[in-house]
Amino acid sequence: MIRIIPAIDIIDGKCVRLTQGDYARSKVYNENPLDIAKQFEDCGVIFLHLVDLDGAKAKFPVNQRVLEDIAAHTSLKVEFGGGIKDRDALVSVFSAGACRAVCGSVACTEPDSFSAWLEEFGGERIVLGADLKDGMVAVNGWREKSSESVDDLFDRFSPAGLKAAVVTEISRDGMLSGPDVELYGGLMARYPNLQIVASGGVGSVSDVERLDRSGVPAVIVGKAIYEGRISLAEIRNMSGSTL
């Protein structure tokens, strides 16, 4: 059964959502992300996907205080991404309470460093973030397109101990138009030993069910929750059997 991982994206310490990764198309949903995290915890959720959008743009973690508050005041296992470009930032994120770090840009720009982190911290704690724009991996807050495909990254880092990857289809992110099930199915067929976490496009419980039927082990859900397309009651019902 698929695992539901709610997302909280942070700008200026507030819970927001972007549309197609565009910082100019952001919407504030809550002034206090901790309140949202506690609501997810009450629904039986175990994992939380926390993204520091300011950090992704600044190239270093900016909203680490939010991570500290959620880690200190909930039992949620938080995976944190955004601005982790060097080992010092990585260690600080773990020290602030993250159980897993999602790293994307550094895997493209400094692959040797990412491989070293996999060796030092393990594939259970270091997660590859592959954000796709026109089939290629985007970096630095989704604003730049690299020359790497997701297959390039999987082929490079699987031998180094990569175990999990969050794959986001940027064109669908925040659009509520449905996930690219074919994309995730193809990746799982080619890389059966990797945990592929789907992200982008989920707009309803039926979208989650489609991913589940395709065998995707986990999905990140954000805007669909905040816009009322998926209720907290539905999250609670799904969490009982998925987490």
Catalytic residues, by residue number, are: 9, 131
Tokens linked to 193: 């030993």
221 and 202 Cβ atoms separated by less than 8 Å: yes
- Which runs of E-coded beta strand occur in the chain? 3-11, 14-19, 22-30, 47-52, 77-81, 100-103, 126-133, 136-139, 144-145, 164-169, 195-199, 218-221
Separation between Cα atoms, residue 33 and residue 191, nearest integer Å: 35
Residues in Cβ contact with 233 at an 8 Å cutoff, skipping those fewer than 6 apart: none
What count of other Cβ atoms lies within 10 Å of the Cβ of residue 110? Answer: 15
Residues in Cβ contact with 62 at an 8 Å cutoff, skipping those fewer than 6 apart: 52, 54, 55, 82, 83
